Structure 1
Amino acid sequence: MARVVMQAVVSVDGFIAFPDDTVGPLFDWYFNGDTELTARPSGWTFRVSRTSHDYIQPFWDEIKVTVIGRHLFDTTNGWDGKPAAGDELVVVTHRPLPERWLADHPDAPFHAAGSAEEGIALARELAGDGLVCVTAGDLGGQAFAAGLVDEVAMDVVPVVLGEGVRFFGSHVGTVLLDDPDQVVQGDRVLHLHYTVKR
């Protein structure tokens, strides 16, 4: 059965972007090292510390399906039809994907779902026994609140944004996590991984 991990780069005060969706210094660590990190199948390359590479590359390579919300799809123009990580991508949306975008990207391995629950179920089916990555923010918070997330991965950057898009969206309530099973110090980033207590 597929595992579902909620993941994002996050500030110390819990934000994954400013209110206007820009990330400011949150992604600086992607470009401050001497070891190449590659996102597949998008082919994006970054230069990070060896320590960050050795943590992130296997994680990215294990992702079979990514689940995103419509807002991120619109903000990134659906990454031009190539998932940032994984073989397939599920977009949780209440509106059909734009016809023009679909015409421009007829072979894009993208699927639509009407709710976080439907999106995670579809992603699990597509992933088989692989890894499903759901993006943090409102969609991730909905999946987390519904008990659909098995693991939480945070790349914590030493910056305080003060406002913006929260890692867990508008999720309220208490959920216990196990102690972190991975704590990896990179250059200007701390990689943390938790399992959700069941």
Structure 2
Amino acid sequence: MSDTSGTGKVVVNRAMSLDGFIAGPGHAMGWIPEHLTAADVPEVMAATGAMLVGRGTYEVARGMGQKDYDGGPQFILTHRPPDEPDPSVTFLTCGLEEAVATARRAAGGANLEVLGADVAAQCLKAGLVDEILVYVLPVILGDGVRFAPPGLGRIDLEPYSSTSSGNVTTLRFRVPKPAQRSS
């Protein structure tokens, strides 16, 4: 990773249906809290110092009234900040690497959690991600927003943890840096 500060990891965090969707049709994510809440993952919450979120994910979560997930300061990466600012978040209109560096500094040495399909894919393409954390939930959606958008390309991951608790299976993968990836 270049030009990033802090010792914490950059972690793409995903809740996913069994058929590979992170949001249902119309970007619906109301099915997630039916199976997984912040209270279910206290160790992840404790390790997270800041969040970098895509604008679409921010808008969906805001529309759902999501307030129970406190992952530290939230940075929303967008090309178009809203006309009416939200004092609970910081909107960033800079480049991706600068946004990651800004959010990592705010994380204060803890992990930076990345949410949002597009911003996560951009971070993966740029080699800025250290880990992917996936909560596989017991639901099949049939359609929606896929885990990875088309065009991301193949990235071979290193699995290092698989656990189950209740109805949720948690998978963790290390992401090799671009120089370590197989072609």
- Normalized against structure 2, the TM-score is what? 0.80
Instruction: Tell me, in whole angstroms, the C-alpha distance in 1 between the residues paired with 2:63 and 2:144.
Output: 22
Task: State the shift of 1:83 in Å.
Answer: 8.5
Question: Which structure 2 residues correspond to residues 2-81 of structure 1 after superposition, within 5 A?
Answer: 2-23=8-29, 25-30=31-36, 39=38, 46=39, 53=40, 56-77=41-62
How many aligned positions are there? 171
Unaligned runs of 5+ in 1: 31-36, 40-45, 47-52
1:129 paired with 2:135, answer no
Residues in 1 aligned to 2:65 and 2:90: alpha-carbon distance in whole angstroms: 11
1:133 alignment partner, SS class: strand
**1:22 is aligned with what amino acid?**
A
Aligned counterparts, 1:1-198, within 5 A? 1-23=7-29, 25-30=31-36, 39=38, 46=39, 53=40, 56-77=41-62, 84-99=69-84, 101-102=85-86, 105=87, 108-179=88-159, 181-198=160-177
Q: CA deviation at 1:6?
A: 0.2
Task: Please give the TM-score of this superposition, normalised by the length of structure 1.
Answer: 0.75
- Asked whether the 8 Å contact 1:141–1:171 carries over to 2, the reply is no
Question: Where in structure 2 are there 5+ consecutive unaligned residues?
Answer: 1-6, 178-183
8 A contact 2:132–2:175 mirrored in 1: yes
Preserved contact between residue 18 and residue 165 of structure 1 (Cα < 8 Å): yes
Contact conserved, 1:6 with 1:140, CA < 8 A, in 2?
yes
The one-letter code sitting in structure 1 at the alignment partner of 2:72 is D
Equivalent pairs: percent with the same residue? 30
Q: Is residue 5–residue 149 contact of structure 1 (8 Å, CA) maintained in 2?
A: yes
